[in-house]
């Protein structure tokens, strides 16, 4: 019997839930929300992704909640402890890094990229403030990664996977080749995580930028 359905598309917040379903071999259908819009909007009027509906009608939205539920749905205790933490301290640390990536890091990216790619009106100060915030968050990651291979414990967790997913958008748009060469520790971690078989297929068609998005020229 199917364990439910995950509504997920190309958006970055759906990447990791899709990987969890695939790599933990869950009996969960992955539905394109746009191709199933009538069902999607009926079940989830806010029309946000990712969202999950169980075989019993249980519904869940918000990426971190969906991720936690899917991992626990596997029943694989070894993977549950690896991905979510094996002690109450590790669980709190994993949640801490997940929250940082899902909120602060993601929001700083959109504030910096959207005015440059035309999705929002251009505002130089807003872009510069976003870059400054990204640099502060990068420092937080590097403080940990200077002496550790992973964000929590000694093996990859959801914290690492989601962090790498969000950094992908940043490396596609805002932090070019030169910047990445100047941040060896962060990139060593990023390369390690993106080659991890649990999630590596997510990066099959990803190309990181050589140059960051330019500021629009003055007219």
Following DSSP, what letter does each residue of 138-167 receive, concatenated?
Answer: HHHHHHHHTT-SSSSTTS--HHHHHHHHHH
Q: Indicate the pTM of the whole model.
A: 0.96
User: Do residues 47 and 120 make contact, with C-beta atoms less than 8 angstroms apart?
Assistant: no
Residue 88, pLDDT score: 97
84-203, which class in CATH? mainly alpha
Where are the CATH 1.20.1050.10 domain residues in the chain? 84-203
pLDDT, one tens digit per residue, over 39-86 is 999 999 999 999 999 999 999 999 999 999 999 999 999 999 999 999
Residue 217, pLDDT score: 81
Q: Which CATH architecture has domain 4-75?
A: 3-Layer(aba) Sandwich (3.40)
Residue 143, token pair as written in the block = 């403080």
pLDDT, one tens digit per residue, over 158-178 is 999 999 999 999 999 999 999
- Of 37, 57, 58, the C-alpha closest to 49 is 37
């Amino acid at each position: 019997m199917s364990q439910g359905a995950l509504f997920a598309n190309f958006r970055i917040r759906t990447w990791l839930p899709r990987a969890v379903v695939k790599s933990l071999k869950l009996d969960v259908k992955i539905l394109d929300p746009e191709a199933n819009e009538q069902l999607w909007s009926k079940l989830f009027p806010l029309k946000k992704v990712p969202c999950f509906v169980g075989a019993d009608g249980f519904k869940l939205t918000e990426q971190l909640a969906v991720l936690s539920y899917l991992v626990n749905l596997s029943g694989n205790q070894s993977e549950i402890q690896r991905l979510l933490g094996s002690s109450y301290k590790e669980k709190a640390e994993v949640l801490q890094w997940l929250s940082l990536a899902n909120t602060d890091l993601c929001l700083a990216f959109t504030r910096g990229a959207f005015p440059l790619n035309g999705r929002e009106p251009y505002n130089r100060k807003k872009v510069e403030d976003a870059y400054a915030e990204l640099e502060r968050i990068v420092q937080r990651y590097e403080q940990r990664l200077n002496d550790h291979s992973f964000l929590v414990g000694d093996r990859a967790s959801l914290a690492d996977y989601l962090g790498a997913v969000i950094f992908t958008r940043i490396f596609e748009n805002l932090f070019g080749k030169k910047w990445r060469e100047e941040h060896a520790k962060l990139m060593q971690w990023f390369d390690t995580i993106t080659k991890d078989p649990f999630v590596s297929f997510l990066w099959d068609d990803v190309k990181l930028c050589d140059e960051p998005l330019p500021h629009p020229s003055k007219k």
